[in-house]
Amino acid sequence: MAIRNIREMGDAVLNKTCKEVKEVTGRTKMLIQDMFDTMYEAQGVGLAAPQVGILKRITVIDVTGEDPILLINPVILETSGEQTGNEGCLSVPGKTGVVTRPNYVKVRAYDENLRPFEIEGTELLARAFCHEIEHLDGHLYVEKVEGELMDVEDAEE
Ligand code: ZN
């Protein structure tokens, strides 16, 4: 188990476009395991490779704590509906803001053996798919916040 340092907003690595993964090496597998460890340690529901300083199209998600999802080279195939709610990011600690996202998202991605699969999600999972995939193109949710970015404590009142 290895916890990696999470890069924070202002770090240029978070604004870069990540490269497609063409092969999964031992190093890639170690990165994926470290990403899960780092996400769980930080009590996040998703983490993208650029957040640990690696410009590869890899993201891990777990919105329940019991359903780890690995997405390699993910692409959004379909969206529908709308949800508006608070969002946060491990790279923007202590902050939250209101973002509108689709309520349903279907994704095509590759697994650890580079076999393609499709996965769909609603509500928080749909939100996580959008948020994490945007990280791979150098975007943070703060660009989409409606109104002000708030401190988490103020938002919970
Ligand atoms: Zn994030």
Question: 153 catalytic, yes or no?
Answer: no
* Ligand 1 centroid distance, CA of 133 (Å): 9
What 8-state DSSP symbol labels residue 93?
Answer: T
What per-residue confidence (pLDDT) applies to 153? Answer: 84
Cβ partners under 8 Å of residue 108, min gap 6 = 74, 75, 77, 116, 117, 118
Two structure tokens written together for 26: 């031992």
Residue keyed to tokens 């002000």: 148
Output the pTM of the full model: 0.96
Identified catalytic residue from 132, 143, 146, 156 = 132
* Ligand 1 centroid distance, CA of 24 (Å): 23
What per-residue confidence (pLDDT) applies to 127? Answer: 98
What 8-state DSSP symbol labels residue 100?
Answer: E
What per-residue confidence (pLDDT) applies to 156? Answer: 66
What per-residue confidence (pLDDT) applies to 1? Answer: 72
Rounded Cα distance between 130 and 154, Å, is: 25
Rounded Cα distance between 124 and 45, Å, is: 9
CB-count burial class (<10 Å; 0-12, 13-18, 19+) for 148: exposed
Could you report the average pLDDT of every consecutive run of 10 residues in the chain (157 residues)?
A: 94 98 97 98 97 98 97 98 97 97 98 98 98 98 95 77
